[in-house]
Structures are given as structure tokens and as C-alpha cells.
Structure 1
């Protein structure tokens, strides 16, 4: 079968499409034919040596996708051949087929197509964790959402609005403003230099926001602190762009709280994975949540997809078709 591997740590030139042995449905696993694979910043982190370092190269990239069950391993009873399924963390998803632990799979309802399912898993569960668990949005809360036109940002904005919150979005260019507003951002700030806090304070009559969701790297860290109200929360995520460096906790202003949000804490059991995913599917079905797909690439162009998402020029979700 065809798969995209990384032959070493580095830029996109370490990625290669190769022939790999066919996987098998081993005990506790399900063999899946992949219809769509999601592209995530996490994949770039793996390629750059920030994760999976215990697995030798060459290794297959990707952790997310949607497809159809081809075979069932011993001990698996909750899935059948032909079932449509999706997953959020199964290393090796940039491929034509994959053997996945049954505990990592969810069934996909007929009203959800493969593109939507593959787009929703990691970014949807991440956004859900941020707005319903890490800092549960309350009616009347105002949130600052960085990268508001990206895959996580667009879903996060919609979930915040579903919970009665208000969103101030930050984007990197004028052409992303309309996309962020369409998702529900009440105001959108265009900024590439990390100089947005004064505008946030103006939009909140000097009060600041209840929560900042910041996955934009160290450049925005100080501005995010300055944009918070007293006792506000900074939700920090996305290690690929780097952390803020050492912190002197005594110097933190305004009794704020800072935390690093990891979506796997939201879905640390198969039951939670399926419950949280079912909520996302329900929102899709009733029209409360919409997925924005920013680009679909053949598997052979996975390196280009990595370059495009890293450029920050894309909006919405990027997908690969094996």
C-alpha cells in the first residue's frame, strides 16, 4: 500500500511516498480503508522531532482520518465489516490502509460524509475541550480566539457562540476577516506582530476578556496576558510554534490563570471519545456547527499540505485523499 513516511527529522523534504507492507487486523484492532486523512500542526511537530522520537524512522505520519472497516481482529465486537468510522489519534494515518485499536474508533453516522468526519475529529474535539471543559464558556463571557480563521479557531468560535459567549477573533490578514465573522466572531483584529491587546481592551471597554485561546506561539503570549480581565484564563496550546519560555509566577498580573490544554485529557476513555464525538455530530446534524475545508490534496502532495498549513496562509481544515 502507499503511505507517506518521514525518513528523518527536518523540513518537508524528509517526507516521501513509499510502498509499505499491508497492515493486518491484529487482536483488538480494526483494519480500515482510509477515505480521508486530516493534516494537523501535530504532524509538523512529529516531522520536526518534537514527538514520536521513540519510534525509529522511517515512520508513517498522520493521526486522524475517516474510512471504512475492511476486517475485524480477534476480540472486537463493537464494529462490523463495512462500518464507516473515524479516529482522532492513530499514528500512521497518511496511508491507504491502517490497523487501529478499536478503542480509538467511533462510528460515523450516515448524515456525516467522510470529509466532514475527517475534518472534525482532532480539531473539533480540541475546540470542544477548550470551550466546555478547560474553560467552560458561560453566557455573556467574551473570548479572544487567536488564528480565528484556522481549523480550530473556526470550530471554537462556533462552540463559544453555542454556549452564549461572544468572540473577538484575531487573524493574520485582511482576507481572513470575513471567514472569521461568518463563523460568529463579533469583532476581528488583523495582526501579525502580537500588538492586539489595546484593541481588545477597547472592544471590552477596558475590562478585558474572560478567556484567551492562544495557539499562536511566543509572539502573542504577552499580548494575551494583557488582554485578560482580572482572574481571567489563558488557554495555551499548540507546541509546534514554541512556548513562552520560563515564567516567574509571582509576576503574573491580575490574578490570572494560565494552563496548557491537551485535548486527550478531554477524551481519556473510549466512552468519553464517543460521547464527545456524538455531541459534535449532533451539532453538525442540527446545523449548529459547520466544518470549513480549506484544501484537499492527493496523498502524494502531503509535503505541500505541510508547507501550506505552516505558512499560516490557509483557512479551515486540510485533508489528504489516499
Structure 2
């Protein structure tokens, strides 16, 4: 019997229980995947605490990102075969040595990209892709603000946005994180612990504001994020690491400059097979060309997921973190 991290009750990192877990056999349209590496993402914390509901309730295996080797294929699967190197972002269930997963959610990993690298970039990298290319299409000359610049999505987005021709402003929580973000495409860094990020953005842009704010922080950066925008600018709220945003009167968007606001999620943007393939192909292209570099800054054994979650929530991690399986 293989092992997995199982959540039987919502709570802190300690609810992640490393124990035996039945995998099952692949059914029609499914494959049995042996993980080589699994990615750590803040959305895993949301599911663990119950902020987001697991699709099938409790108990469940968390994790939305992984890569590995196809061990067996079910009836009707023609796109993959035993031994293929594959990766995915969603559905939930990655914190396991092996899993059964729908074949149409997997993409083949180019030989030029390591499986540990792929495991740490699928969810974060395709998130950066849809934010920068589809939620608000970043163009040469745009100025953007990205909160949590030294995080997993932030470091990818900084490099990618710079390659798209943008001026990239980021917020961080320490001098060390500012240095890391500066090495990954950011032109201007703001330490939110010491500085008022709204005032700094106004100073940096000469009072004009930015074209778009990408915000995964939530409660602590609202409504300040709106005050950083130019008239008719876009606020893309795609996470809430500091807690959910309190309900607000939508009229605030008109009062602050006829602003656009959206709450996107990756899984809507890769819902169809065509969208998944296009997003993954764009990501593999920028990584394969060296335009975006995926640096694995932390590694943990999959059996030590509780410690990894504690470190993530304490903001001790930067960039990409992977579990070795």
C-alpha cells in the first residue's frame, strides 16, 4: 500500500497525517501516476484549513500540482503510455506517492525540463500565464504591481512580465526577499513592513498609478491595491494569504476611477483540454528558452508536509518549494 498525506479534520499543519492510503486501479480515461515530485502552493493551506471545500469532503489528500511517470493506463487512453513523463495542475490529490488521475488533465513534460522543476511550476507558472496574458494582457509600456513578489507565482511573473516589456513593481516583506525579487525581473521593490506601498507606487509612477494590480494577499492589501491603479485600471484578486477580503460596496470601483475588478482562478482558465495545452505550451516555451527560470528554493520529503506548511504560513519560504517523493 502506498502512503499519502491525509486530512481527516480541518485545522493547522498537524492535521496532515502521513499514512497508508489505497490508490485503486485506473478506470476508463484514467492513468496510474507515480509521483517523482509534488509542488507546494498556498491553495493547499486553504483546503487544509477548510477555507476552500475539498470536492468530495473529508477525508481527502491535498495538493494540486505534481509530476511523475505513468505506471499504467486505463481503457480508452491513447494519448499516454506507460513510462511517459507527465505533469499537472489539479485536480486535488497530489500529496501521495501514487494516484489515479484523468489522462486529459496531464501534459507531457519536454525532455529539457526536469520532473522536479515541472512539479514546482505547473500551477504557479500557468497562473502567471493566465494573469499576464489573459486576465489583463500585459503589453510593452505597461506598469504593473505584483504583491508577494518573492513568492512562487511572483518570481515567475516578474521574469515573464519583464520579458513582455512591462515596468514591474513588487511588494515584499524583507530585504532578503527584495533582493531575490530584484534578480527575477522586478524594477522597483517595496517592503510593505517599512513603507506605505500606496505612496511608493504613486511616487514611482509620478502619480499616474499602475495599469494592473495582481493581488494574492487579500485582506492586508485591500483597499490599498485600488488606490494604486490608474483610472480604468484592473485589480486582479487571485488569492488571500492574509485572509479573505471583507464584503465591500461595488460603488467603490467607480469612486476610485471606474476600475475593473476580477477574482480569477487557474482552473477556469484551463478548464478545456485546448486551454490546458495552450497554457502549458506557453509555460514550457518560456522556461525552455531560458526567459523564465524556475529555481527550487526549498525541498522537503513528502512525509514532512506538516513542516512545509508551517514554514509557508510563517513566510519562511520563497519562490518554488517541492516535495521529493
TMscore range, shorter length: over 0.9
Shift in Å, 1:58: 2.5
Question: Contact 1:23–1:97 (CA<8 Å) still a contact in 2?
Answer: no
User: Cα 1:217–1:194, aligned 2, differ >3 Å: closer, same or farther?
Assistant: farther
Q: Deviations over 1:190-245 (max 9, x none)?
A: 11378310011101111111111111121111221111111111111114533321
Secondary structure, in 3 states, of the residue corresponding to 1:77? coil
1:33 matched residue in structure 2 = 34
Task: Provide the residue aligned with 1:65 in structure 2.
Answer: 66
- Whole-Å Cα distance in 2 between the matches of residues 104 and 9 of structure 1? 27
What residue is the counterpart of 2:154 in the other structure?
A: 153
The structural deviation recorded for 1:272 is 1.4
SS in 2 for 1:242: coil
Give the structure 2 partner of residue 88 of structure 1.
89
Q: 1:45 to 1:107 in 2, by over 3 A?
A: same
1:150 deviates by: 0.5
Q: How big is each residue's C-alpha offset from its partner over 1:37-78, in whole Å with a ceiling of 9 and x where there is no partner?
A: 111111111111122345243221112100000000001000
| 2:266 corresponds to | 263
Q: Separation in 2 of the partners of 1:53 and 1:82?
A: 30
Partner secondary structure for residue 235 of structure 1:
strand
Per the alignment, residue 309 of structure 2 pairs with 306
Q: Is the 8 A contact 2:9 2:59 kept in 1?
A: yes
Q: How does 1:125-144 map to 2 (within 5 A)?
A: 125-144=126-145
Q: How does 1:234-313 map to 2 (within 5 A)?
A: 234-252=235-253, 253-313=256-316
What is the Cα-based RMSD across aligned positions, in Å?
1.4
Q: TM-score, normalised by structure 1?
A: 0.97
Give the Cα–Cα distance (whole angstroms) in 2 for the partners of residues 241 and 126 of structure 1. Answer: 19
1:173-192 maps to which residues of 2 (within 5 A)?
Answer: 173-192=174-193
Distance 1:193 1:244, change over 3 A: farther
Q: Structure 2 vs 1, CA of residues 198 and 230 (structure 1 numbering), >3 Å: closer, same or farther?
A: same
d(CA) in 2 for partners of 1:110, 1:9: 39
Please state if 1:123 is matched with 2:134. Answer: no
Structure 2 CA distance, aligned partners of 1:304 and 1:25?
A: 31
Matched, 1:214 2:222: no
Q: Which of structure 1's runs of 4+ aligned residues deviate more than 4 A?
A: none
Task: Look up the SS of the partner of 1:79 in the other structure.
Answer: coil
Q: More deviation in 222-231 or 242-251?
A: 242-251
Partner of 2:224: 223
Kept in 2, the 8 Å contact 1:193–1:219? The answer is no
Normalising by structure 2, we get a TM-score of: 0.96
Paired residue secondary structure (2:116):
helix
Does the 8 Å contact 1:12/1:307 carry over to 2? yes
Cα 1:250–1:52, aligned 2, differ >3 Å: closer, same or farther?
A: closer
The verdict on how the C-alpha distance between 1:307 and 1:107 changes in structure 2, with shifts beyond 3 A counting, is: same
Q: What is the deviation of 1:22?
A: 3.3
Question: Number of paired residues?
Answer: 322
The corresponding residue for 2:52 is: 51
Q: Which shifted more, 154-163 or 139-148?
A: 154-163
For residues 1-25 of structure 1, give each alpha carbon's deviation from its aligned partner in whole angstroms, at most 9, with x where no partner exists.
0100112011111111001123311
CA–CA distance in 2 between the matches of 1:13 and 1:51? 18
